[in-house]
Amino acid sequence: MPDWFSFPQSFRTRRVIYCGTALGVLALGMLTPGCQALAQGHNPAPDPTSQTRAPAEPAVSAYPAPAAGDGLTTSGYNLSRWAEDWTKMRDAKNRRDFLDRLKFLPLNRSQNIYLTFSGEMRLRLNQTGNPNLRKGPRQRQDIMRLVGGADLHITRYFRAFGELAHGGISGPNIGTPAASMRNKLVLQQYFAEADAPLKAVNIGARYGRQEFTDGANLMTSQRDNNTLRFVLNGTRFWVRGRMIRGDFFDFRYTRLGRGGVRDDVVDRGIRFSGGTGGLVIPKDFLGKSKLYLDPFVWRLRNRRAVWGTGPAREDRMYYGVRLWGDVQRLTIDWVGNYQGGHYDGRTIAAWQFFLAQTYRLGKAPTSPRIGFHADYASGGGAFGKGTMRNALAPFGNNIYYSYQLFLTPTNLVALAPNITVSPLESLRLTIEHQFAWRATVLDAVYRANGTAFAGTQNTRARRVAQSTRAQAVFTWTPRLTFTGRYEHLQAGPALTRAGYTSSDFFAGWANYRF
What does the pLDDT read at residue 451? 96
Handedness of CA 377, 378, 384, 388 (dihedral sign): negative
Query: Per residue of the chain (514 residues), what is the pLDDT tens digit?
Result: 333 334 444 444 444 344 444 434 444 443 343 433 333 333 334 443 333 333 333 334 589 988 999 988 888 999 999 999 999 999 999 999 999 999 999 999 999 999 999 999 999 999 999 999 999 999 999 999 999 999 999 999 999 999 999 999 999 999 999 999 999 999 999 999 999 999 899 999 999 999 999 999 999 999 999 999 999 999 999 999 999 999 999 999 999 999 999 999 999 999 999 999 999 999 988 878 999 999 999 999 999 999 998 899 999 999 999 999 999 999 999 999 999 999 999 999 999 999 999 999 999 989 999 999 999 999 999 998 999 999 999 999 989 999 999 999 999 999 999 999 999 999 999 999 999 999 999 999 999 999 999 999 999 999 999 999 999 999 999 999 999 999 999 999 999 999 999 999 999 999 999 9
- Across the strands, what pairs with 336? 321, 353
CB atoms within 10 A of CB 137: 10
- Cα 447 to chain center, whole Å? 17
**Does residue 211 sit in helix, strand or coil?**
coil
What does the pLDDT read at residue 61? 56
What does the pLDDT read at residue 409? 98
Distance CA 344, CA 143 (A): 39
pTM summary value = 0.88
- Cα 505 to chain center, whole Å? 20
Percent share of the chain, pLDDT over 70: 88
Distance CA 99, CA 26 (A): 11
First to last CA, the chain: 31
Which CATH code fits 3-513?
2.40.160.100
Which of 120, 131, 128, 126 is closest to 143 using CA atoms? 126
**Does residue 38 sit in helix, strand or coil?**
helix
The backbone torsions φ and ψ at residue 453, rounded to the nearest 5 degrees and listed phi first, read -70, 110
Which of 161, 162, 166 is closest to 229 using CA atoms? 166
The distance between the two most distant Cα atoms of the chain, rounded to a whole number of Å, is 72
How confident is the prediction for the chain on average, in pLDDT?
90
What does the pLDDT read at residue 28? 41
With vertex at residue 423, the alpha carbon angle to CA 422 and CA 429, rounded to the nearest 5 degrees, is 45
324 contact partners, CB below 8 Å, separation of at least 6:
216, 291, 292, 294, 332, 333, 334, 335
Listed by start position, the domains of the chain span 3-513
What does the pLDDT read at residue 460? 96
What does the pLDDT read at residue 176? 94
Please say whether the beta carbons of 322 and 333 come within 8 A. Answer: yes
Please say whether the beta carbons of 228 and 211 come within 8 A. Answer: no
